[in-house]
Chain A
Amino acid sequence: MATEFLTDGGYRQVPSEVIEPHELAGARVFEDSYGVAAVVVFESWDELVISWPDYQSGLVELMSRHLPSVEAKAWEGYLVLLTSGSAGEAAQDQASAIRYDMTRVRKLVGAGAELQSLSGLERVLRPLLPLKPHALTSESASAVDLLPDLLGSDDLPREAVRVAVDAFKNSKSILDALYRSERSQ
């Protein structure tokens, strides 16, 4: 699912032949104009805790092989560490420690119940993903434009509200517009 999220978000998956076997075994690597993200899925939280430094090294090595040193910092690397295994209360600190380890690349961690839903996975990947356009307001948004959907009911047809709002916005008589609308029906 992470692959879909990332590719939908504009990332391109790096072909496996580009990656050296010892660098990021089992990981999937994605790239966009601003950086590289390696997604690694672990069997358990413990494995994650133990193995993530190796993957970080592998990612840095991969980036070093392809990027001039002068650009290194411009190319942000993201190591996405995921496991469906339960982390438990004690692992909270470990996860925070991993996230807050700012050496080399940025780490994103998702574990346990958090990954049992798509929204949970999306939340982990969020720093890598573009903003969803449907959440952005439209160009002509105005509070009164919301009224048809807001007030529409069996007693108050949505179309009637729209007619009234249009008349108001165009500085026309609202009642006349409603009347004409009623007559035309």
Chain B
Amino acid sequence: MRARSIELSGFRAFAGAASLDLDADAIVLVGPNGSGKTSLLDSLLWILCGSVPRIGDDADLVSMFSPTGGAYGTLVLGAGDSSAEISRSFDGQSTSLSFRRAGTESRGSAAFADLCEVLWPEAIATGDEAAALAAAITRSIYLQQDLVRQFISADTDQERFEAVSELVGAGRIAEFQVQLDNQRTGWTRATNERTAVVERVRADLATLEARMASLSEAPTSTAEIADRWGAWWQAVAAFGIESSVDLSPAAPQAAHVLDDAVRRVATVRRERDRRLNMMRQLLVDLIEESPIERPDLDSLRAASAAAKRTVEEAQVALASVEAAAAEARRRQVELHEARAELQALAQLALRHLGEHCPVCDQTYDSVATRARLEWIAANSGDEDAVRAPAANEVSVAAEGLRAAEEASAVADQQLRVAEALIREADLREQDLTSRLTSIGYVGLPDADAVSALEIQTATLDREISSCEELSAEGERLAVAIARIGEATQRDELQRDIASSRQRLQELEDEIAKREVTSALAVRLLAGLREASSNVVTSELERIDPLLQQIFSTIDPHPAFRAVRLLTTFAGRRGRVMAQLKDQLSGKVTDSPEMVLSSSQLNGLAVSIFLALNLGVRALPIDSVILDDPLQSLDDVNLLGLVDLLRRIREHRQLIVSTHDMRFGDLLARKLRPVAQHQRTLVYRFRGWSRFGPSLEMEEVPFDRVRLRIASSAA
């Protein structure tokens, strides 16, 4: 792409607004010093990079006569039908940048990022994109008159190397190296993780192989097992167990179904055992235990009642004897009390007995009375006159009662024992009957029951034996099925082992290949360590013929006519020197300033600059900008330069400024369009005022006559 137009205001010499058509492959700026030519060229650098390093940043670039106090510039770059518009402005405080391309616009840092992406992605690797971009433009696009000899005179050998290194994009190689190194580290880590996976797969494989070895190798006849399987299920069906005969013994659930059925057979057997034991016990009870004889309960009850009556009669007799004895004792007590009262009265009368009666005062026989009284007082009377029953009568009556009561108790005891026996007999009969009923026998616990029980126990014995056989066969079938399962497991294990071995092999192959890749990356990294320097050397060697062509065209020195950019290394630091050689004498110098005059050095500097522009295409800007490149070149070299510029315009948009009107005219003539696609513009800077340069644009006419002499032959 190349410059197509530019608009400026407030930038250095361009105080006012100016708009210039740059859509030409050759543009000549002619005008006296200070008329604004360099400002115009600097504005290209400023718009693209935000600074003109040899002058300064935004604030240093604003025209003192800017009506707004700021600077504005819009540069349109184009190639074919596509174009990009870069606008930069500085309002005295801050800078703004916009980048418009293919209908999309970005601003600020995004705009600069887009600009770098389009112009020079390698700048991103440098860390200071704007400075790197400015340096790249200065080194290969825009040769500023103050910096013409910077490369060969001002720069040191190392600075030249670094400048070329940056220009050829060696930083991109360093970025490549860093990325590769980082990726190799990650790659190694990932490979190590795969190695760990290999160990796990290997361990899993060992486990599978151990499991395989643990499986029995005994052959199993599936047909035979199928027959036994069918027979077994038919047999267990007789016990009410649901048959799974339709299920294949090789089916995955066969073992579970069989195990369940075997448990149910065991349950049946336990139930049969329980019933058998119960029947056997019942039989024992029926056969071995003698029946209880029922006593004559009625006679015992009659005896008991008679005994009770005897007791009652004895009680009555005893009571009668005891009542008579009590009456006699009462009468005796009454007599005793009456005698005691008479004695007391006799004694009292004796004390008070006189001649006369103390009560009636009558006379009486006192002697007789006294005698009588004394007798009374001395005698207690005849209590035995009352007869009481004899003591043995009560004892006899009491003994009779006790004997009657004992006889009654014995009779009652005998009755209770008899009643208990009857109850026991009833209970036993009920128990046997109940037990018989519980086993399904309806009838009395008699001999018939015993016969029936004996038949049933025999049946139960057979069933239990059958259950035992079924259980044993079920266990054997379970083992057989397990073997079928083992056979299935063996097949599955064999597949798993094969799969694991394949996986292991694939992983080992992958790791081996990854290690090959890693080793390749290591070798590449080793090569890259020197690659940046080697690229510089390679690139400079590549452009040597071009530099030689350019230098020969300008031809500034009569003897030192061969030139090359020589690369050397001191340790890992590269150096670049411009080496001149007199091919006739063989003399060589790495210090051109020692053999070239100032103007010749300018010729060499311009040659190197143009070689870098044409040979090291750092930026996709197909332009070469030369700000007053004469720099005291003598006429011969000047003509050589013009010849060269004529050739360069075939490859680059050429923008040349000069303060020399003759040189300007010469350029206009020598760069005239000779083909339809060519266009040459001449801007004549007539003067400068506080509003900016006074500009006139001329378009050099197309020269339609290519050959004037050779074509006249016809």
Interface residues of A (CB under 8 A from B): 12-15, 17-18, 29, 31-34, 36, 62-63, 66-67, 73-76, 92, 95-96, 99-100, 102, 106, 112-114, 120, 123, 126-132, 135-139, 141-144, 146-147, 149-151, 153, 155-156, 160-161, 164-165, 168, 173-175, 178-179, 182-183
Contact = CB atoms under 8 A, between A and B. Distances in A.
B669 A141 contact: no
Given A123-B552, A135-B549, A143-B169, A130 B538 contact: no
A137 B212 CA distance: 69
A63 B666 CA distance: 18
B649 to A, nearest CB: 11
A113 B585 CA distance: 10
Contact of B173 (A12, A31, A114, A143): A143
B300 interface: no
A114 B559 CA distance: 11
Contacts of B539: 143, 146
Contacts of A34: 646, 670, 674
Given A18-B710, A113-B584, A73 B669 contact: yes
A150 B584 contact: no
Interface in B513-540: 513-514, 516-518, 520-521, 523-524, 527-528, 531-532, 534-535, 538-539
A135 B615 contact: yes
Given A15-B713, A18-B712, A131-B546, A174 B521 contact: yes
Contacts of B524: 151, 156, 160-161, 164
A173 B190 CA distance: 13
Nearest to B519: A155
Interface stretch (B111-119, B598-606, B700-708): B700-708
B517 A179 contact: yes
B614 A137 contact: yes
A137 B542 CA distance: 9
Contacts of B122: 142-143
Interface centre among B183, B635, B706 (most CB of A within 10 A): B183
B651 interface: yes
B669 A74 contact: yes
Interface residues of B, number: 75
Given A132-B546, A164-B180, 8 more contacts: A66-B712, A100-B636, A135-B545, A135-B549, A147-B527, A150-B531, A155-B523, A161-B524
Contacts of B528: 147, 151
Interface string B76-96: 000000000000000000000
A156 B710 contact: no
Contacts of A73: 666, 669
A175 B517 contact: yes
Interface in B645-693: 646-648, 650-651, 666, 669-670, 672, 674
Contact of A137 (B180, B518, B616): B616
5 contacts: A15-B713, A126-B552, A142-B172, A144-B172, A174-B180
A113 B583 CA distance: 9
Contacts of B535: 143, 146-147, 150
A17 B712 CA distance: 10
Contact of B709 (A36, A112, A160): A36
B369 interface: no
Interface centre among A100, A150, A160 (most CB of B within 10 A): A150
Closest 10 CB pairs of A and B: A135-B546, A143-B169, A126-B552, A137-B617, A151-B527, A33-B674, A15-B713, A74-B669, A175-B187, A179-B517
B558 interface: yes
B77 to A, nearest CB: 16
Contacts of B532: 143
Contact of B546 (A74, A99, A136, A165): A136
Contacts of A67: 708
Contacts of B703: 33, 74
Contact of B670 (A31, A74, A164): A74
A90 B183 CA distance: 66
Interface string B174-189: 0010011001101100
